[in-house]
Structure 1
């Protein structure tokens, strides 16, 4: 499983996702829970793929 995580470059937890996208944890939690970010809740923890987050923001910036 560790190999799969490394190849996908997963970001676990709201705090780490927030750091990646440059938002506060509160803003990030709102975006996640309202379905505005490409992420999923797995076992009570939020997880996002770094590549999908970056692509999402590049698309909205264009």
Structure 2
């Protein structure tokens, strides 16, 4: 596996939740409903750090800090 790709992939709901600083249960719900970009590899949720950052950049664009 490419080192860049390996460093970009988060495996498991807990790791994804930690990356986005959110509760694991809420993260699971968002992944399962498609509100958060990710997918399943076997029975484990995976997500790309880059795609998650882009996702949050899009939904927060134009909102005051």
Q: Which runs of 5+ in 1 are unaligned?
A: none
The number of equivalent residue pairs is 59
Q: Which has the higher contact order (CA 8 A, sep 6+)?
A: 1
* Residue 51 of structure 2: aligned partner: 52
Taking the aligned partners of 2:28 and 2:37, their CA distance within structure 1 comes to: 12
* Residue 35 of structure 1: aligned partner: 34
Q: Can you list the C-alpha shifts for 1:18-51, whole angstroms capped at 9, x where unaligned?
A: 0011110000000000011110001110000100
- TM-score normalised over the length of structure 1: 0.89
- TM-score normalised over the length of structure 2: 0.85
Consecutive aligned runs of 4 or more in structure 1 exceeding 2 Å deviation: none
- Give the structure with higher Rg (CA): 2
